[in-house]
Amino acid sequence: MSNRVVVDPITRIEGHLRVEVEVDENNVITDAWSSSTLWRGIEVILKGRSPLDAGLITQRICGVCTFSHYRCATEAVENALGVEIPLNAKLVRSLMQTSLYMHDHMVHFYHLHALDWVDIVSALSADPAKAAQVALQYTDKPINAGEGELRAVQERVQGFVETGKLGPFANAYWGAGTYKLTPEQNLIAVSHYLKALEVQRVAAEMMAIFGAKQPHPQSLVVGGVSCVRDVLSPARLQEWKTKFHQVHDFIQRAYLPDVLMAAEAYKTEPSVLGGLGVKNFLATPDFFMGDGWLFEGGVITNGDLANVQEVDPSLIEEDVTHAWYQDGPSRHPYDGVTEPNYTGFIERDTVYGRLPTLDNDNKYSWVKSPRYNGQPMEVGPLACLLVNYAKGTPAVVNAVNGLLEATGLPVEALFTTLGRTAARLLQTNIICDNALRTFDALLTNIQSDESTYVEPIIDPDKEYVGHAMNEVPRGLLSHWIRIKGGKIENYQAVVPTTWNSGPRDANNVKGPYEASLIGLKVEDPTKPLEIIRIIHSFDPCMACAVHVMDYKGQELSEYKVA
Ligand code: NFE
Ligand code: MG
């Protein structure tokens, strides 16, 4: 009897992710493999093009964090050319980043992650009057959680069920034993799920104010931003501020209390208070506020919060031993190589019968394996918060201590699924708390300084190298460029989900996704809710992780959706 469990695709993420695990006779996971099964090709496409276009091309890596790649590429080119951009441009980029985080983290919690915590079907048996009282336990100003609103939500969901068209709620593991919220708590969360669909639109509009559109904003250029007087007019800026308050209000009155509610209900669930990854964390300074960074950067190894090291960019390398690329040594991204070498799947017995499965002793993913000083690193909101907690950044220390106090959880609870999910909320909150400082800095500066752009100069007879390291919603993003003859000679992106989802390296050391699953008990291997819950806590984006495409249009593998 085989004990191989296959989860493919993991839905409610961007891109294609497959996870395979081995379970023992008690359904405890003894081994795990993470694979992206989709190939793209952006790093290859960039070669020979103008460095001024790198931002517009790399933002096509992904439909989620389009701004993140746009900004990182633009700043890598600025770094290579030695361009110092005007203060207004720095502040506008920071406000776009703020808007993106507010959008992205809220959408992740409600639309990508919540159904791992919230049993929609259970909400149907809730008492709306009682639920309205329950909502008051987590905030004194609940939103969309009055008795009438909750009753309307319940009727709406009942309507889905009666017509047999569950729509976005179809094909989940409703009723699974590791759902822990009461019917009333489930109803509150469903109400916020639906409301968040409206609020996320407002957050997207915040980005469009400075970006001209969203997704794929258009206003960044090498040398600054193309936002000029009309965009930076008092009326436009006020519009951003109004929308900021609208989204912030929802974050305070729904997102924050819902995370507290989930933390309380799931305190003893192993897939929530487990999910420990590699215990190494990497983050970079970011969120410019006019007079410094909101968040510091650093490296934590083996969970040691007492010894945070500074990040040394020269210690980043990518390993391809178990990735579908031509073999070669681990390489620094300035010298990175992206040559596909797809070796396919192998047949093996699984709990569902004989199937093509990952050839895990050999190559099994399109994701490379980034390493820092030879070690796998978790990146993301948790890494950012832990580095800043350990370094004593006041806003982060207060936020983390506040959460531990409110939930009664020990500091070790941070290194878990819950820690990742709560860190994303706390990071959103801290960003919101400081957003108007950045906004006011822009308002003040444009009184006396209209400059938003300096013209970059590329000398075709010179060679340039440069990189940028930014925090983006899923963690540390870095872009690395070599310019020769006025064109891009080599380009590499080392992306948050690449760090987190990468396969084993040459030393057979697992990446964060793989490590986080070991030792987890799966209640029912045919309904692997716990695996999805842990993996979703990292907020996967496989489009970002792979960012390479089959430019010859070849069919690499065939998938049938049952
Ligand atoms: Ni496609 Fe991305 C972010 C980047 S992810 S979403 O955030 O860069 O790994
Ligand atoms: Mg890459």
pLDDT in tens, 452-474: 999 999 999 999 999 999 999 99
What are the distances in angstroms from CA 327 to CA 64, 110, 319, 475? Answer: 31, 40, 9, 27
Could you tell me if the CB of 477 is within 6 A of ligand 1?
A: yes
Segment among 92-96, 158-162, 403-407 with least mean pLDDT? 158-162
Q: What is the pLDDT of residues 422-441, one digit of tens each?
A: 999 999 999 999 999 999 99
- Supply φ then ψ for residue 96, to 5 degrees: -70, -40
Which amino acid, 472? V
Residue type, 524: D
- Ligand 1 neighbour 237 (Cβ under 6 A): no
Confidence of residue 548 (pLDDT cuts 50, 70, 90): low
Is 490 a pocket residue for ligand 1 (Cβ < 6 Å)?
Answer: no
Gap between the Cα atoms of 7 and 437, Å rounded: 44
Enumerate the known binding-site residues for Mg(2+): 43, 62, 547
Give the integer Cα–Cα distance in Å for 136 and 154: 19
CA distance 403 to 324: 42
Beta bridge partners of 373: none
The half-sphere exposure of 376 on its side-chain side, counting CA atoms within 13 A, is 26
488 CA distance to ligand 2 centroid (A)?
A: 15
Q: What is the CA radius of gyration of the chain?
A: 23
**Residue 38 one-letter amino acid:** L
CA of 129 to the centre of ligand 2 (A): 52
Whether 497 is in the pocket of ligand 1, judged by its Cβ within 6 Å, is yes
Q: Length of the chain, please? A: 562
- Strand segments (E) across 444-543: 463-472, 475-484, 487-494
Q: What is the pLDDT of residue 556?
A: 38
pLDDT score of 196: 98
Ligand nearest to the CA of 491: 2
Tell me the C-alpha distance between 4 and 72, whole Å: 39
In the predicted structure, residue 370 carries a pLDDT above the cut 80: yes
Given a cut of 90, is residue 562 above it in pLDDT? Answer: no
Ligand closest to the CA atom of residue 479: 2
249-274 average pLDDT score: 96
Instruction: State pLDDT tens for residues 191-231.
Output: 999 999 999 999 999 999 999 999 999 999 999 999 987 78
Measured in whole angstroms, the distance separating CA 518 from the mean position of its chain's CA atoms is 22
Cα 114 from Cα 108, distance rounded (Å):
8
389-392 long-range contacts, CB within 8 A, separation 24+: 389/305, 389/414, 390/298, 390/300, 390/305, 390/306, 390/308, 391/296, 391/298, 391/308
Residues 234, 249: Cα–Cα separation, whole Å: 22
Taking the C-alpha atoms of residue 330 and residue 319, their distance in angstroms, rounded to an integer, is 4
To the nearest whole number, what is the mean pLDDT of the chain?
A: 94
For 17-64, what is each residue's pLDDT tens digit?
999 999 999 999 999 999 998 777 788 889 999 999 999 999 999 989
Whether the CB-CB separation of 382 and 420 falls below 8 Å is answered with yes
Cα-to-centroid distance, 165 and ligand 2 (Å): 40
| Cα distance between the two ends of the chain | 23
Residue listed under structure tokens 């540390």: 476
Confirm if 389 and 400 have CB atoms less than 8 A apart: yes
Ligand 2 being an ion, which residues bring their Cβ within 5 A of it?
493
Question: Residue 9 is which amino acid?
Answer: P
**Angle (nearest 5°) at CA 417 between 416 and 423:** 85
d(CA 131, CA 154): 11
pLDDT of residue 49: 97
Instruction: Name the residue among 144, 157, 167, 251 with its Cα closest to residue 202.
Output: 251
DSSP assignment, residue 252? I
- Nearest atom in ligand 1 to 61's CA: 1
Tokens 């029912």, located at residue: 524
Atom of ligand 1 nearest to the CA of 544: 1
Eight-class DSSP state of 14: B
Per-residue pLDDT at 190: 97
| Structure tokens given for 77 | 């080119």
Nearest CA to ligand 1 atom 6: 65
446 close to 95: Cβ distance less than 8 angstroms: no
**Which residues are documented as binding site?**
43, 62, 65, 541, 544, 547
Residue 472 Cβ < 6 Å to ligand 1: yes
- Note whether 33 and 503 are within 8 A (CB): yes
Cβ atoms of 145 and 135 closer than 8 Å: yes
What is the pLDDT, as a whole number, of residue 549? 43
Whether the per-residue pLDDT at 479 is higher than 50: the answer is yes
β-partners of residue 480 are: 467, 492
495 Cβ inside 6 Å of ligand 1: yes
Among residues 158, 447, 494, 210, the alpha carbon closest in space to that of 330 is found at 494
- CA dihedral 282→415→296→211, nearest 10 degrees, is 80
**550: pLDDT strictly greater than 50:** no
> What span, in angstroms and rounded, lies between the C-alpha atoms of 352 and 555?
26
- Ligand 1 contacts CB of residue 64 (under 6 A): yes
* Nearest atom (ligand 1) to Cα of 541: 1
Question: How far is ligand 1, taken at its centre, from the CA of residue 136, in Å?
Answer: 35
- Calculate the alpha carbon distances from 1 to 4, 24, 47, 64, 348 in Å: 9, 11, 49, 41, 11
Give residue 547's pLDDT: 76
**Bond preceding residue 215 cis, omega within 30 of 0:** yes
Phi, psi of 549 (to 5 degrees): -135, 160
- Does ipTM surpass 0.90 in this model? yes
Q: Find where tokens 């309307």 sit.
A: 152
- State the pLDDT at residue 160: 85
H/E stretch holding 32: strand 29-36
Q: What is the largest CA-CA distance in the chain?
A: 74
Digit-coded pLDDT (tens) for 102-137:
999 999 999 999 999 999 999 999 999 999 999 999
Q: What pTM was estimated for this model as a whole?
A: 0.95
Alpha-carbon distance of 84 to 451, in angstroms, equals: 12
Strand partners, 318: 331, 370
Instruction: Give the single-character DSSP code of 488.
Output: E
CA atoms of 84 and 372, how far apart (whole Å): 28
What pLDDT score does 51 carry?
98
